[in-house]
Chains A and B, each alone.
Chain A
Amino acid sequence: MKVLAAMSGGVDSAVAAARAVDAGHDVTGVHLALSKNPQTYRSGARGCCSKEDAHDARRAADILGIPFYVWDLSDRFAAEVVNDFVAEYAAGRTPNPCLRCNEKIKFSAVLDRSVALGFDAVCTGHYAQLLRNADDVELHRAIDVGKDQSYVLGVLNQDQLRRSYFPLGATLKADVRSEARNRGLAVAEKPDSHDICFIANGDTAGFLEQRLGHRPGDIVDITGTKVGDHAGSHRFTVGQRRGLRLGTPAPDGRPRFVLAIAPKTNTITVGPRDALAVRGISAIRPTWTAQRLATEWSGEVQVRAHGHPIAATVWVADEGLEIVLESATAGVAPGQAVVVYDGSRVVGSATITATQA
């Protein structure tokens, strides 16, 4: 196969590319330049795609003996991922930019461009497994449960999965690092990048404030009584406890958590931990990795990138999904994805719009 290996400059994508080469494919390495203003050096473990990262990817490609290019997708990334991220927060929701990037950039813009240029598949260092059957491709969790990234790949459809290639799904992260070492890849010792790739200093609140401005508003309790002030609803997400700075303690003396964010009134509602409990989830814009589910179905769902699966029943309609969880979970934020699993297999995903106790 002619494979385009997306190489971020990190150890996972480097080893993934290496395995694609070993598997006998005709591999070309591409670093995606996603930032409008790339830093020259990686500062710590946050952020990605600095010039140093491009350099690290280039050196890994040298060692693998494959051609290497840098593709500038910064305009599309800004429009589809960064702007969407800011808009979602402005609307009082909690976005997942990695999901949006997979959906719109890595397995869309990049994949489509690659196919037009003659490639058969895009290879990445994602921790997920693909099972290719006669008629379809199944997306499954990775063996390394702690690193499993099937959640952020849950938005992919069959066409996209058919042209995807995830060599690392059956390997533990620790083993990937030692493999990198054995292969002589300098990135073996490079720390993983955390958090959001386009917020290099990790200060999401600051990033959003720069774009959304200072928007003070009220913090209220479940009766609607004002209990404090906030500097901007984008600083908060459902389930959050930190940063509330409420002047007076709650009547029951226990900690309070963000229950809801109302962007129109710029109000944050807080309450006790048990008010966070969610049994029902409404979600829209479902995508299916293969067959759309029948109207009523039981399996598991995951509501956070690193959350555990929860047994649930899913009702499917054209507009969306209604999900009832068998056991309550806390801190489910509108805007996040709910990914539906059948055992280790990803069935589909949808965007959470509302929750019910």
Chain B
Amino acid sequence: MQLDHLPLNQIALIRAIDWESLPDQEGHRLRALGFETGVTIEVLHKGILMWRDPLAVRVGRMTVALRTKVAAAIDCELSA
């Protein structure tokens, strides 16, 4: 499941990140912020009004805001 489709407050694991589809700078920043295969992730909040974009996501013990467009490049699976 792509991160932008992950329901709120569901803990998941990053299965794969499609680095190719991301612009260099964003891929680089994403890596620096700790996004990587195998890391625990959880969508905490979604953006305002009808847009529900960007997302506030927990990665490890850190919260990161990112746009759904970037989130779509992150594939995750719900952890049991």
A and B: interacting chains: no
